[in-house]
Amino acid sequence: MKALKQAIVIIVIFAAAGVLGCGNKPLLTEMSTRKLIVIIKGTYESNSPAPWSMPPACYEATRDPVTKKCVDYTMGHRALVQDDSVNRCNATDDVNPSLFMLDIAEVRLADAQGGVHKFANFRQNFSFTMDDANPFFSGAGYVMDNDDVPSKLYPAVMLYVRKMLMDSAQKYVPQSEGWSGSAMWDVFAEKQYPCFNFNKMQIHSFYDTLRLESSYFNSVFPLVVPIPDAALGMIYNDTYPVTVLEIRFVIKNFVKKYEYQSYMNDVYTTVHYYALSDWLQDIKKDETDIGGNLLVVARSYIPGLTGKISGNNTSGHNAHIIAIPAGADITDYTIPGTASTTIPANPNDRYDGSAIDPPESPRSSNPCDLSKRPSVYLGSNINEALDYYLKVERYNHIWNQLVPTSCASYDDYKADWNTFRREVKSYLLPQLATYAPAGSPFSIENVPAGTYDVYVAATAPRYGYLYYDGEFNLVKAGVRVAAGADVTVP
């Protein structure tokens, strides 16, 4: 009888457990594992990126054998790496950066109902060597630390980037024998390194000069990155064992050199530093903000439910191959304008002193992009005061050149800025892109099931550039990719 009672009690307990367990998930196991994998990459391509092609800075043949100082830059450095806004300091001590450092405070996901989900509020510091072997630049990507989110549709991911740094920044002070350079030091992960945080210079976009956004309010914090998947966002469903969210910053082969001036301890100082190419939003002389050039794209896929698009690069040159949603306008993936006419055939040649023709961009082709009035100087340094008056005169000069000639009226002003804003805002990075040398096979990997138009670039990749209108040729339209399929084009 006693044994029977015990048996009944045990049965009741397990029956209760069974009732409780209907449809249950292993919550505690879910807590210590994750199904959402966030991968960050520093490439335009989603896989198999083009190798680094940053031209060397110094023309080694004329390097001073005694002082070891660089005497001449290469053509590639002057035409492709050094931005046309660099105009104050002509020192030749700059060397290419070798490290890219990223300090991310947090990543959040925005859902379709407007909710914001904190799922990676861990500060993460990354340091990537700028070479082809580093996963950040090799196409493999770097896995972030994060947790899962509720099963929902997420149209955007928000990156709270504290710092973006590169090494090889130099500060120059004028001395009797010329510019005297020394390394700039900045703080990364609470320690000082010879590097420069260019994120403090970045803004979302340039706006017309009559608007009141200051750099402070326009700063890239957070950086909101849309996830333009077929369902208008990332579908995260915890019934799938893994969902990958890939976030790509265009950094590889997209680094240029900029300049800014300041008075450090009342000494006129010019700083040369490396940041992202101003291909989309041109940076002009004496500007401090380098906004709108942090190009980022995100996409998601479920491993096992993807296919691939393969083919051969028969374009006759090294080329990017991109796949965009079927029917999408290819001009959304390009901008109006043309590349510089002075791109050197051999970037390693000695810079011959010839004028460099800057590339076109929506900003440089805006006739109403008037210069901003310099902020009033209230200090007591005579040099800074005189500098301020010179800047005011230059501002007046530029204004008088444009108004009312090329920028004739306020209506023109509005129309030109609207055109600029439309072109810049409508620019999209392709979610799927790869690179193939001439005559080599290519394969776009991890393609979610769907229908795509496949394009090949009409020109070989150029350092510091992406593509202008008309620089993509259609390979095949309406390429249908199913899960597990390997579709060959054309």
Contact residues: other proteins, CB under 8 A:
13, 16-18, 20-21, 24-33, 117-122, 146-150, 238
Cα–Cα separations (whole angstroms), residue 36 to 141, 240, 302: 15, 10, 10
Residue with Cβ nearer other proteins (239 or 341):
239
Nearest distance from C-beta of residue 149 to other proteins, angstroms: 6
Q: What angle do CA 473, 479, 485 make, to 5 degrees?
A: 130
Residue with Cβ nearer other proteins (12 or 474):
12
Cβ contacts of 238 within 8 Å, gap of 6 or more: 25, 30, 35, 148, 151
Instruction: Give the DSSP H or E segment for 401.
Output: helix 382-402
Query: Two tokens at 390?
Result: 């010179």
Residue with Cβ nearer other proteins (303 or 327):
303
Residue with Cβ nearer other proteins (116 or 267):
116
Nearest distance from C-beta of residue 25 to other proteins, angstroms: 6
E strand intervals along 178-318: 178-183, 186-188, 191-193, 195-197, 223-226, 234-236, 243-249, 255-264, 267-276, 296-301, 306-312
Contact 256, 464 (CB under 8 A): yes
Query: Two tokens at 394?
Result: 């230059």
Cβ contacts of 441 within 8 Å, gap of 6 or more: 310, 311, 312, 313
Contact 172, 270 (CB under 8 A): yes
Residue with Cβ nearer other proteins (150 or 327):
150
Contact 50, 461 (CB under 8 A): yes
Which residue shows structure tokens 């053509």?
Answer: 75
Nearest distance from C-beta of residue 154 to other proteins, angstroms: 12
Nearest distance from C-beta of residue 227 to other proteins, angstroms: 18
Task: Please tell me the distance from the alpha carbon of residue 355 to that of residue 230, in angstroms, as a whole number.
Answer: 46
Nearest distance from C-beta of residue 305 to other proteins, angstroms: 19
Residue with Cβ nearer other proteins (247 or 444):
247
Around Cβ 229, how many Cβ atoms within 10 Å?
21
Nearest distance from C-beta of residue 124 to other proteins, angstroms: 11
Residue with Cβ nearer other proteins (26 or 353):
26
Nearest distance from C-beta of residue 38 to other proteins, angstroms: 13
Residue with Cβ nearer other proteins (11 or 31):
31
Phi, psi values for residue 380, rounded to 5°:
-115, 5
Cα–Cα separations (whole angstroms), residue 138 to 43, 81, 129: 8, 21, 11
Nearest distance from C-beta of residue 42 to other proteins, angstroms: 25
Residue with Cβ nearer other proteins (162 or 372):
162
Nearest distance from C-beta of residue 232 to other proteins, angstroms: 22
Radius of gyration of the chain (CA): 26
